[in-house]
Structure 1
Amino acid sequence: MSLVDAVISTGGSAVDDVVDRDSEKADEQAVEEFAGWVFDRFLGAMETLSIHIGSDFGLYDALRGAPATAAELAARTGIDRRYAREWLEQQATAGILDVDVERGGDGVGPGFRLPAAQAEVLTDRASLGYSAPLADMFAAVALRMPDLTDAYRSGRGIPWSAFGAAVRDAQGDINRPWFENVLAKALASVPRVHDVLSRPDAGIADVACGHGWSTIGLARAYPDAIVDGFDIDAPAIEAAHEHAAGLENVTFSELRGEQLADEGHDRYDAAFVFEALHDMPDPVAVLSSIRRAVRSDGVVVVMDEAVAETFSPPGDATERAMYGYSLLICLPDSMSTPDSVATGTVMRHATLERYAIEAGFSAVSILPIDGFAAFRFYLLER
């Protein structure tokens, strides 16, 4: 049908549509700026995958304190020499590596050096700045895009186990330095919590402990306590056992949070849920079980994402990151369970308080713990 025919058959509405579309034409500068914004994200994604290559093959570890040419890096790590040269050049172009021209004595190009700051961020697993696991997680999630596409169409989910060891390990590795280096000081700064944890033979439950670094951090901070870590992911519990080798006041078991009270009412002085409640399909049932398992004079603490109080776009970096996690990992994981409440990563204070009140708590208060990565600590009041 021609435009003239369309005008005749619609009483002129086709012309009106053309005029309306023309009047909505975007400002050229705004288009150019947003196109640049998209390109910056594309560039960041490509370079994130290049960091994953360096992390996965141990290339950064091989360069730490030992500059190398492409031939030397290939020999140290067992990767192909031509790929080694391309990766080294790309890393230098991205500003990650420095070029050491004087080391180019093997006839195939210069040497490359990993600066100290980059070395800490990409190789030091004890540093609070350690960030290589973010790239590893991004790469692992990218492999699940066909599954995510199916989930978005069908309304089904993708269970945590389906994301594989790479995501599980990355999650544990990125939180490890915070639990090992900062958790003890953070909890000690809150007398109401610290005093309970310092009781002789205090019983502490760490629900959804993952790789167990939070459980280990609690056990080391409070050596007179008995700390039990629980998770439903068998490989995570196995890893937790390995990480806690030699630590005598820790146990790990496979157990759902909803089953904690089945182990005994008033059994614990304290219970924690570190960055996991938003993933749970039935958080009210979990919190209800925790409330019954913890003594009335004990404490229940939930650490979750430090998102804004309300949905108020555009968001800050934390808000944006958490929505990214939610789209790609946490919401699909939660929706893999039938009848899930499907919270998603962005669990706001009001949502947590609603869950807590439905579980029998009276209120939720924010603990005065600041600067603990992108997390916030909540105390669930009796």
Structure 2
Amino acid sequence: MSTDLITEADTSTDHGSAGTGDRTDAERAEELALRLLDQFSGAVELFTVELGRRLGLYPVLAGSGAVTAVELAAAASIAPRYALEWLDQQAAAGIVDVVGHDLSGARLFALPAGHQAVLLDPGSPAYLVGAAPLARAVAASLPAVADAFATGTGVEYADFGHELRFGIAELNRPGFALGISDWVAQLPDVAARLESGGVILDAGCGEGWSSIGLARAFPNARVVAVDLDVDSVRAARDHVARAGLEGRVSVWRANAAEPDLLHELTEEPVTLVTVFQALHDMGEPVRALAGFRALLAAGGAVLVADEHGEDSKAAPADENERRQLAMSVLHCLPATWAESDSVVNGTVLRGHTMTSWAESAGFGRPEVLPVEHPFWRFYRLG
């Protein structure tokens, strides 16, 4: 293991514990116990949503109007008793509505239109079906992560499996479809050039939804998408083909920290490099940024959007940072460590870390862009 291993924890100030007040040990114990119980309830409900996704139950409900358990079972090819138990649970959780009874007295269930946006519509900003498979993948990988903790090693990204790739891709998909034009518009000079052509390098493209969003936003530009994960590249190529964009979007397996290979793939100077929720996972982020800088055409820029956190660590923290740090422990840190042990940042990319990386790569201080996003901070480099 490298002796210069750097973690996100090494470079920020801990302000100590806060928020304990005058509560007794017994009160704090009860509070934590109730919170964990509530989180258990949320987790098992989330997995029932995943069951509905896997079995195709939500599309059946959306297309059938009000149905009984027997009718759902017939339409979805599942056992009626399971259908009844699942529908009763979904109704108790407030995910489906009970809208009446049939002539036999059996309850009628329906999936509300608003909930269809969350569970079935990738074009909706409320679409969140990726949360359940992502949680399932993290849970399944826990034994491998525990072994990595004990041995000081990593867990390969590929070993987290299809559900993790799918979950991350589906969670980010609406933003790429709905917001990417506005994000690039924060670089007006670059956006204007892309209107008439140019090359976009989409680094860490995952399953390709960002690359598709960029191609649709700038129909005269060519998009070169790269990712290190074989299965992500395969999925991205399939999505690009289904979108009818094979002529303008090429997807390659490549390490973002290999500038010579990226130069071969892009074939010409690059107008814009995009790195969406990927820089924090790179094992050699400074080398990658330096390589991007070398690829840029005159006046080109790098757009980084990544998980953000305050430079000072709160304890306890808000909900967003708690979620990010939990994902860092369970996925991002071990996956990055498997790629490289020189820089292992974790999920949260704090401002001082971004500045350090950008300046070490030869950029000036990164510009924070005025993009409203619940989880990401956007930076311009160059």
Same fold, judged at TM 0.5 (above): yes
Q: Which residue of 1 aligns with 2:11?
A: none
- 8 Å CA contact 2:190–2:271 kept in 1: the answer is no
Structure 1 residue aligned with 2:318 = 316
Larger CA deviation: 300-309 vs 38-47: 300-309
Determine if contact 2:256/2:262 at 8 Å carries over to the other structure: no
Does residue 271 of structure 1 match 2:273? Answer: yes
* Cα deviation, residue 143, structure 1: 1.2
Contact 2:194 2:218 in 1 (8 A): yes
Q: Report matched runs for 1:1-382 at 5 Å.
A: 26-66=24-64, 67-103=66-102, 105=104, 109-198=106-195, 200-245=196-241, 246-247=244-245, 248-264=247-263, 267-371=269-373, 373-381=374-382
Quote the offset at 1:195 in angstroms: 2.7
Q: SS of the counterpart of 1:302?
A: strand
Alignment coverage as a number of residue pairs: 354
Change (3 A) 1:196 1:351: farther
Q: Distance in 1 between matches of 2:347 and 2:190?
A: 25
Instruction: State how far apart, in whole Å, the 1-side matches of 2:148 and 2:35 are.
Output: 28
Shift, 1:119, TM fit: 1.5
Q: Determine which structure has more spread, i.e. the larger CA radius of gyration.
A: 1
Deviates more, 1:142-151 or 1:183-192: 183-192
Q: CA deviation at 1:101?
A: 3.3
Tell me the TM-score normalised to structure 1 length: 0.87
Partners in 1 of 2:109 and 2:100 — Cα distance?
8
Secondary structure of the residue aligned to 2:302 is: strand
Q: Point out 4+ residue stretches in structure 1 off by more than 6 angstroms.
A: none
Higher relative contact order (CA 8 A, sep 6+): 2
Cα deviation, residue 330, structure 1: 0.8
Offset at residue 376 of structure 1 (A): 1.5
Residues in 2 aligned to 1:183 and 1:320: alpha-carbon distance in whole angstroms:
26
What TM-score do you get using the length of structure 2 for normalisation? 0.87
Mapped partners of 2:234, 2:151: distance in 1: 33
In 2: Cα distance, 1:334 partner to 1:104 partner: 58
Mapped partners of 1:358, 1:324: distance in 2: 28
Q: Aligned equivalents of 1:212 and 1:312: distance in 2?
A: 35
User: Residue 327 of structure 1: CA displacement?
Assistant: 1.4
8 A contact 2:308–2:351 mirrored in 1: no
Distance 1:78 1:60, change over 3 A: same
Once the two structures are TM-superposed, the CA of residue 263 in structure 1 deviates from its matched residue by: 4.1
Paired residue secondary structure (1:141): helix
> Deviation of residue 197 (structure 1)?
2.7
Q: 2:59 & 2:367 partners in 1: Cα distance? A: 43
Aligned CA RMSD, in angstroms, stands at: 2.0
Contact between 1:60 and 1:114, CA under 8 Å: does it hold in 2? yes
The whole-number CA distance in structure 2 between the counterparts of 1:218 and 1:138 is 28
SS of alignment partner, residue 280 of structure 2: helix
Q: After superposition, give the CA deviation of every residue in 1:203-261 in whole Å (9 maximum; x if it has no partner).
A: 11011111111111111111111111011112211221221222232111111101234
Structure 2: which 5+ residue stretches go unaligned? 1-21
| Identity fraction in percent | 38
The one-letter amino acid paired with 1:316 is D
Aligned AA for 1:173?
E
SS state at 1:135 partner:
helix
